[in-house]
Amino acid sequence: TVLDIEVTVGRTGVLTPTAVFTPVTLAGTTVSRAVLHNEDNINKLQIGIGDTAVIRKAGEIIPEVVKVTKHTSEVFKMPNTCPSCNAKVQRLEDEAAIRCLNPECPAQLIRNLTHFASRDAMDIEGLGEAVVIKLVQSDAIAKIEDIYSLKKEDISSLDKMGEKSAENLITAIEKSKNNDLYRLIFGFGIRMIGVKAAKLLEQNFKNLY
């Protein structure tokens, strides 16, 4: 049974619906969530909250909704405004995705900062999503470049973050300044630019100047 359909905002502003359902066992693991991808897929499945659905693991890994076997409500409608910042959302031509186009959207900021610090990007150990959220909520950072202006006291004052954690994070941030250029390019989160494309750009342009 579909208990809820949650909509989250990714780092590029894409709104992604996820079905939350009564826990079931699939391929040896218990799952209770399945990504519904986009508005077109929701309409194809004709799925709504309270419906009964068949779930499977795509490729034995990712839970997905195969079909709805019992309808008890209206088909779920994607929101007209961003669930994070309440800005109007838009579906661009030739895209299945609905996007929040607000550059100051908090959810996008958190995702962008987390991506920038991730292992394949700038690899800043200790700057995961939980710490990023705390830093954003405390107004210590509001954009990517603010990471490199952080002081030890900005970090140590956060909940569950002591002096040692702060020192380690500052050290990791300093270390990241010596990374290869492709990591920085990938860390910017430019659409259609993965690690491979970032490496090609580094080979061709050598620097950012």
pLDDT given at position 155: 95
Output the pLDDT for position 156: 94
pLDDT of residue 76: 97
d(CA 120, CA 114) in angstroms, rounded, equals 11
pLDDT for residue 57: 86
Alpha helices in 96-205, H assignment, sequence order: 106-117, 129-137, 152-156, 163-176, 181-187, 195-205
Tokens of 89: 């959302």
pLDDT band at residue 133 using 50, 70 and 90 as cut-offs: very high
Cβ count near 22 (within 10 Å) = 10
Predicted local distance difference test score (pLDDT) of residue 2? 95
Given a cut of 80, whether residue 58 has pLDDT beyond it is: no
Examine the pLDDT at 207 and tell me if it is beyond 90.
Answer: no
